[in-house]
Chains A and B, each alone.
Chain A
Amino acid sequence: MFAQLLFLLSAVLTVGCAIAVAVTKNIMHSCIFLLGSLIGIAGLYATLGADFVAVTQIMVYVGGIVILMLFAVMLTGGKDFVSRAQNLLGLAPSMGNKWTYGIGLFVGLVFLLTNVKLLSNIMKSYPVKTFGNEFPSTVSQIGHLLVKEHVLAFELSSVLLLGALVGAAIIARPRKQ
């Protein structure tokens, strides 16, 4: 029962905050609602039993991404960026009129339904890969997978991240005269 309760709380937090991100006009508030939404997603992972992924979600997004976003927003003007454009029902900051919303909704629905129709057969026949109980926890399971089966992807992504880091340092470095 408590698992369901937790799921409901996380789901409401996720969806509610996601809507608030889109609806609120103050970009700083948007960032904070995004934080709530991401924490809700971590809660969803936790209810699925993926504790490592849940904690990584909090670590990466709350500890890193959202703070970086807050910095970026603040350094580029902060709350002066309040949207003044006309908007749908006076709620969401507008990116178009009723025609764009209508056509977007229609295309989205068609796309969603086609995908569901196409993918449902594949999903049903896809074998669920189960691991035995040889691992004491999800952490050790992830560790084994990372350094055994997926070691190439793991190492390549670390090289990619190192490249990004070096590139950022080169761009940010003051030029020599």
Chain B
Amino acid sequence: MNQTLVSYLSQYEFYDVLLGIFGKNEGLLAFVIYLLFAGAIVGLCATIGGLGTYAERKISADIQQRIGPNRVGPYGILQFLADGVKMITKEDVMPNTADKFLFYLAPMLALIGVFATLAVLPWSNGFMMADLNVGIFYLIAISSLVGVSVFLGGYASNSKWSMLGGMRGASQIISYEIPVTISILSITLLAGGMGFGTILSQQQGTPIHWYIFHNPFAFIAFFVYFIGALAETNRAPFDLPEAESELVSGYHTEYTGMRFGFFALAEYIEVFVVCGVGAALFLGGGNLPFNVQIDIIPLQLFQVVIFMTKALILYYVVIWIRWTFPRLRVDQLMSICWKYLTPIAIFNLVGNAVWIVVFNGKSIADLVFGGH
């Protein structure tokens, strides 16, 4: 059934001690643990999002042979804090004709949608807020709030740039959900479950046991997932909703100060989330590369480090792609989704199913080296 962080921690001795402190009130203790952990994760992810803006500028500077931010702190690493202070102290401007209610709601919906996905993100096989048995499905579902927020942000600003950006954003996010979901579905087939715990436990730490190398179809599915995820998070070369050369800056043209900051933060955290999901589904997640029978907290933290490393490598690739490829046209965007990615994804799904039947669910590594 659904495993949670609390049910994981309850196997340790210190849980009983804590339970004693809270006067045997398990509900209260669970609430406090969730609260602390949620605070920690949101803080961590906000930092990752902030550092993402720094990494973006620094890597783009490297690619364009510039220096990039280098004034605030060593190597300019505190630049994102300076930006945050700037955004908070800026005037909060709203266009006269904007739809006030929706204008205020849109950035919050973006943040809610992204932060809600963090609940199932598998930091390690123990440190998950909730290992729902519909985990990945939940993640896909709740992240569609971001699509609504992009659309609303564009609509509520009552400006033509915003409107065009919002419409492009919504149609792009809806379209690319299909290849991404079908790619994820083929991994669900292989793992025999939608929970992140199930998916992780079916893989091992060594690369040959990752799902990306499970069979040729899963290998292709990873790239379909990654391309689709780029488009879903509005990253270049699919950043048409905020194409600055034609739409000023798309759906958040009219937003200033921290409301713009919310959109930017949501985007950077969402990139981290999709990279993390890619790492968990295809790259073995936080699985240790060696076999250990014991389960202690330091090993779990080591798993978190492995997971973060994989996710951040993917994050680097996302930024690298952004500063390397030119932006697509709208018709190219749609034809890539509907004429190429979706048929390939469906082909992968069928191929995976056939592979499971023919080879009895064994991976290439199992077939070559002999295995379970």
Closest CB in chain A relative to B198 CB, distance in Å: 9
Asked if A122 is an interface residue, CB under 8 A from chain B, the answer is no
Closest CB in chain A relative to B304 CB, distance in Å: 26
Which residues on the B side are within 8 Å of A74 (C-beta)? 155, 167
Contact at A29–B102, with CB atoms within 8 Å?
yes
Known contacts A29-B101, A58-B142, A59-B140; A52 and B134 CB within 8 A of each other: yes
Asked if A158 is an interface residue, CB under 8 A from chain B, the answer is no
Known contacts A1-B27, A51-B133, A58-B142; A32 and B105 CB within 8 A of each other: yes
Known contacts A35-B148, A62-B141, A79-B99; A136 and B1 CB within 8 A of each other: yes
Which residues on the B side are within 8 Å of A29 (C-beta)? 101-102
Asked if B170 is an interface residue, CB under 8 A from chain A, the answer is yes
CB contact list, B132-155 vs A, under 8 A: 132-134, 137-138, 140-142, 144-145, 147-148, 151-152, 155
Report how far A28 CA is from B145 CA in the complex, Å: 16
Q: Whose C-beta in chain B lies nearest to the C-beta of A133?
A: B1
Provide the B157-200 mask, 1 if CB < 8 A to any CB of A, else 0.
00000000001001000100100000000000000011100000
Asked if B31 is an interface residue, CB under 8 A from chain A, the answer is yes
Asked if B2 is an interface residue, CB under 8 A from chain A, the answer is yes
Closest CB in chain B relative to A58 CB, distance in Å: 4
Report how far A9 CA is from B187 CA in the complex, Å: 35
> Within the complex, which residue of A28, A62, A63, A137 is in contact with B1, where a contact is CB–CB below 8 Å?
A137
> Within the complex, which residue of A58, A70, A78 is in contact with B151, where a contact is CB–CB below 8 Å?
A70
Closest CB in chain B relative to A118 CB, distance in Å: 37
Contact at B148–A66, with CB atoms within 8 Å?
yes
Report how far A136 CA is from B137 CA in the complex, Å: 17
Which residues on the B side are within 8 Å of A66 (C-beta)? 148
CB contact list, B192-238 vs A, under 8 A: 193-195
Q: How many residues of B contact A (CB 8 A)?
A: 31
Contact at B152–A32, with CB atoms within 8 Å?
yes
Provide the main secondary structure of the chain A interface.
helix
Report how far A129 CA is from B145 CA in the complex, Å: 36
> Within the complex, which residue of B2, B137, B145 is in contact with A62, where a contact is CB–CB below 8 Å?
B145
Known contacts A2-B27, A32-B152, A137-B1; A67 and B174 CB within 8 A of each other: yes
Closest CB in chain A relative to B105 CB, distance in Å: 7
Provide the B22-33 mask, 1 if CB < 8 A to any CB of A, else 0.
000001001100
> Within the complex, which residue of B2, B167, B177 is in contact with A63, where a contact is CB–CB below 8 Å?
B177
Contact at B144–A63, with CB atoms within 8 Å?
yes
CB contact list, A109-149 vs B, under 8 A: 136-139
Q: List 12 A-B contacts (CB under 8 A).
A: A2-B30, A55-B134, A55-B141, A56-B137, A58-B138, A58-B141, A59-B140, A63-B144, A67-B147, A70-B148, A71-B170, A139-B133
Which B residues have a C-beta under 8 Å from some C-beta of A? 1-2, 27, 30-31, 99, 101-102, 105, 132-134, 137-138, 140-142, 144-145, 147-148, 151-152, 155, 167, 170, 174, 177, 193-195
Which A residues have a C-beta under 8 Å from some C-beta of B? 1-2, 26, 28-29, 32, 35, 51-52, 55-56, 58-59, 62-64, 66-67, 70-71, 74, 78-79, 136-139
Contacts beyond the supplied A58-B141, A70-B148: 6 A-B pairs with Cβ under 8 Å: A35-B148, A55-B137, A59-B140, A67-B170, A137-B195, A139-B133
